[in-house]
Amino acid sequence: MKQPLTGAMLSGIIGAAWADDISFDKIKLDTGYSEGEVIAIMRRNLKPKSFALWRKRVSGQKSKHEKRSKLLARDIE
């Protein structure tokens, strides 16, 4: 169940979304917010240029997408 967004929760979600080692799956487990919802939160709360930089950065990161990372690791084996 999702918790209502407080200032601290919002700050935590944004920080986790920026972190390289925290996947969207982990964010969902901790907060209840899905990848799409995190993207929407980021879009609403970041400046347009910051949001564009974040999306570009996250789109190229395998670590943000645990399922994709696991699939790639399986394909390599």
Residues of the chain with pLDDT under 70: 1, 3, 65-77
Question: Is the residue at 47 inside a domain?
Answer: yes
Query: So what's the pLDDT on residue 20?
Result: 86
The total of structural domains in the chain comes to 1
* Cα 62 from chain centre: 12
Can you say how many angstroms the Cα of residue 66 is from the centroid of all Cα atoms in its chain? 11
The predicted-structure confidence for 13-25, as pLDDT tens digits, reads as follows 999 999 988 999 9
Is 1 domain-assigned? no
Whole-structure pTM value: 0.77
Residue 73 confidence (pLDDT): 46
For residue 2, being part of any structural domain is answered with no
Tell whether 39 is covered by a domain. Answer: yes
pLDDT of residue 26: 93
Residue 22 lies in domain: 7-76
